[in-house]
Amino acid sequence: MTEAILLVGGYGTRLRPLTNHRPKPMLPLATLPITEHQLAMAAKVGIKRIVLATAYLSDVFTPYFGDGSKWGLEIKYALEKEPLGTAGAIRNAAELLSEGSEVVVLNGDVISSHDLSAQLELHRANSADITLHLTEVEDARAYGSVPTNSDGRVAAFLEKMDNPPTNNINAGCYIFESSVIDSIPKNQVVSVERETFPNLISQGGKIFGFIDHSYWLDIGTPKALLQGSTDLVKGIAASAALDRYKFAHRDQNYLSLSESISGDISGGSAIGGFCRLINCTVEGSIISDGVEAENCTIRNSFIEIGAKLPPNSTISNAFVDPDGEISEIFFAN
Ligand code: GTP
């Protein structure tokens, strides 16, 4: 049976200060942690056992996901004392898997509607060592690009460059043969992108690309976080995780787990549980659990758990921490 590893241990530096309080994979998209959307994606293809590869702020995962039974899954937790890099983390987490031959590995900061079953089928049909989901971006200069040969085999892993030969990039969902994971050195910092993949290509290993251009977003920056959340609420992106919940309000304007909401809420905003928003205007924002506000205007902003906003305040392009401290951050970047 296919098992999965979710890489959830990175520092998420590009998302600071949001990641000062919780790790990136636990930040809410349409009210639910990014990780929960990914678990739903894995469960959809019949994956039952999933190891969360944790390091930074590892303690926050277990109270939320427990043993996974609430989701019909068996969730285990691997811990790195210091982050071991993406490949080191996979090696460490694989100790908690059973003896299956293939493992799905997901970056913990991506939402994707790609066809994971078809990726698995392609992997088996090619008897591949690794099969990577590749997605096309408009401008690959900000990413490393991944050219493939006519048979779908990955030709190279190229660093960021001014004239990338393809707009296909690594989308952060891999199928690994277990034997490849076994060859990653134990307890060492190793990167899949910089070491494992390029080394395997130079040794003639069989790395294939699964090219799928359906909805995909890397939630690496504050702007992408807001976009991912509003896209899910507006129905531009889909997630089976949302279907498990009974929302107090759900349409394309906004999603809310709380009943006590009044005012004008729009732009795909998401409001967590136990919030009290009285006569507020909220546009394109993420409001975490337990937030209170009265006569406030909140635009393009992220409000952390339990923040109490001063009445009549206007918050725009800002992050509000749990103590109500406001930082202007760059949701435009
Ligand atoms: P930045 O610091 O903003 O680049 O974010 P990041 O730390 O999350 O790094 P990146 O976006 O490259 O990571 C991709 C995925 O791998 C994310 O889901 C990370 O949580 C995860 N990840 C990155 N490094 C490690 C690591 O050393 N250990 C584990 N367990 N996961 C990691």
Q: Using one digit for the tens of pLDDT, what is the confidence trace for 301-326?
A: 999 999 999 999 999 999 999 998 88
Distance 274 CA to ligand 1 centre (A): 30
Q: Which of 331, 286, 263, 250 is nearest to 31 (CA)?
A: 286
Closest residue by Cα to atom 15, ligand 1, is 107
Q: Among 5, 8, 90, 218, which is best to mutate for testing ligand 1, by the most ligand atoms less than 8 A from CB? A: 8
> In this predicted structure, what is the pLDDT of residue 275?
98
Closest residue by Cα to atom 22, ligand 1, is 10
Amino acid letter, 297: T
Radius of gyration of the chain (CA): 20
Q: What are the backbone angles phi and psi of residue 316, rounded to the nearest 5°?
A: -135, 130
262-280 pLDDT, tens digit per residue, is: 999 999 999 999 999 999 9
The answer, yes or no, to whether any atom of ligand 1 lies below 6 A from the CB of 89, is yes
Global pTM value: 0.93
The answer, yes or no, to whether any atom of ligand 1 lies below 6 A from the CB of 10, is yes
76 neighbors 54 (Cβ within 8 angstroms) = no
> In this predicted structure, what is the pLDDT of residue 327?
84
**Which stretches does DSSP call E strand in 28-139?**
28-29, 32-33, 49-54, 74-79, 102-107, 110-112, 130-136
> In this predicted structure, what is the pLDDT of residue 328?
79
77-124 pLDDT, tens digit per residue, is: 999 988 999 999 999 999 999 877 899 999 999 999 999 999 999 999
Cα gap 211→123, rounded to integer Å: 12
> In this predicted structure, what is the pLDDT of residue 261?
95
List the structure tokens of 254. Answer: 């906004």
pLDDT value at 333 more than 60: no
Eight-class DSSP state of 86: H
List the structure tokens of 93. Answer: 């987490």
Q: What are the backbone angles phi and psi of residue 116, rounded to the nearest 5°?
A: -65, -35
